[in-house]
């Protein structure tokens, strides 16, 4: 929480002064009562009924006064609110395994149908972009409010070759910012696996957002395989986290995989669920599993623009003023009810 008129907080020094004055008044009241010779008069002066209750109204009054002083300093805080204006990047895995027909007519076509249903439900102010990745990645459609352009871009997607999840995330981030992340060309490694890389620092380096603050943008990444081309997805996910971009991942297929004929030889392709779950967890997104075409459609339908948040600074003066007035009113009411006087 921050204060626009922080110098007003000096008035809080009045509170301990008022506490000291109240304590002295109580001491004086007791000394004054002892001057009476009559025991009955002493009991009446000191008070037999109220006991500890006589301290409650003054305590509430001082608390209300403190809250009112804080309100005078005009407190404000950053809050994360749902917004109907934002950007959604649909990131598709178009590797060769998306030709598998366990989701009729195949996985890629089923993903297109589900994405179209998602797009139709978005408010007109939400920009939607399309990114496709196989062993490389490209922005198929820059973020736009033109729904037909987005649908046409999705319709042009065709299965390609390998799977570079990390590059797909980087390209999705490029679609959201003016300065793209500079990265060396993809480097395949022996055995079709990637090894850990030290990624070059983006130029200029983005200032990481505090954890819990998000950009008004999300990435919805769909994949059915395991990354076999660099860079490593979990290292790239750190860039998304630093920029406050949440990545929601959708897994298609199964960890056991399916056997596909690629270039005259049979290849088993498996879903790397653990990597997709880790990407979502690191960026504070969510992971979804889709085993059938209906599951996939349901996942996209449940992903709405409620997932797009915007961080805004909101002044809390009215909230503190209301709380102060409530405390002062309660103090006055209790004092009149119990003692027929104001605190």
The tens digit of pLDDT for each residue in 48-67 reads 545 677 788 888 889 999 99
Beta bridge partners of 204: none
Domains and CATH numbers, the chain: 2-78+315-339 (no CATH), 84-307 (3.40.50.410)
With a cut of 50, list the residues of the chain below it in pLDDT.
Answer: 37, 47, 49, 179-204
The tens digit of pLDDT for each residue in 108-130 reads 999 999 999 899 888 888 899 99
CA 252 from centroid of its chain's CA atoms: 25
The tens digit of pLDDT for each residue in 158-188 reads 988 888 999 999 999 999 875 444 444 444 4
For 292-327, the three-class secondary structure string (H helix, E strand, C coil) is CHHHHHHHHHHCCHHHCEEEEEEECHHHHHHHHHHH
* Contact (CB, 8 A) for 123 and 80: no
The confidence score (pLDDT) of residue 189 equals 40
Tell me the pLDDT of the chain averaged across its residues. Answer: 80
The confidence score (pLDDT) of residue 187 equals 42
């Amino acid at each position: 929480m921050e204060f626009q008129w922080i110098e007003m907080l000096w008035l809080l020094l009045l509170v301990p002064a008022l506490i000291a004055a109240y304590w002295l008044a109580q001491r004086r009241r007791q000394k004054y009562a002892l001057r009476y010779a009559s025991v009955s008069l002493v009991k009446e002066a000191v008070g037999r009924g109220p006991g500890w209750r006589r301290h409650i109204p003054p305590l509430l009054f001082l608390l209300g006064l403190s809250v009112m002083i804080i309100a005078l300093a005009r407190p404000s805080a950053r809050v994360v609110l749902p917004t109907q204006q934002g950007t959604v990047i649909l990131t598709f895995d178009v590797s060769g395994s998306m030709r598998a027909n366990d989701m009729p007519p195949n996985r890629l076509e089923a993903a297109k149908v589900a994405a179209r249903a998602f797009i139709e439900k978005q408010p007109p102010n939400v920009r939607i972009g399309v990114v496709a990745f196989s062993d490389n990645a490209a922005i198929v459609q820059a973020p736009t409010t033109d729904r037909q352009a987005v649908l046409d871009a999705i319709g042009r997607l065709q299965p390609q070759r390998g799977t570079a999840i990390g590059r797909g995330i980087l390209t999705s981030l490029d679609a959201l910012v003016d300065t793209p992340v500079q990265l060396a060309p993809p480097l395949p490694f022996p055995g079709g696996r990637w090894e850990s890389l030290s990624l070059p620092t983006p130029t200029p380096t983005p200032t990481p957002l505090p954890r819990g603050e998000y950009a008004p943008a999300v990435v919805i990444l769909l994949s059915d395989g395991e990354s076999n081309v660099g860079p490593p997805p979990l290292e790239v996910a750190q860039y998304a986290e630093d920029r406050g971009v949440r990545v929601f991942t959708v897994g298609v297929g199964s960890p056991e995989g399916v056997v596909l004929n690629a270039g005259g030889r049979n290849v088993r392709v498996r879903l790397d669920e653990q990597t997709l779950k880790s990407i979502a967890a690191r960026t504070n997104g969510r992971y979804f599993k889709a085993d059938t075409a209906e599951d996939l459609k349901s996942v996209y339908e449940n992903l709405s623009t409620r997932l797009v948040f915007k961080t805004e600074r909101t002044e809390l003066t009215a909230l503190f003023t209301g709380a102060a007035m409530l405390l002062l009113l309660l103090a006055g009411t209790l004092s009149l009810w119990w003692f027929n006087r104001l605190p």
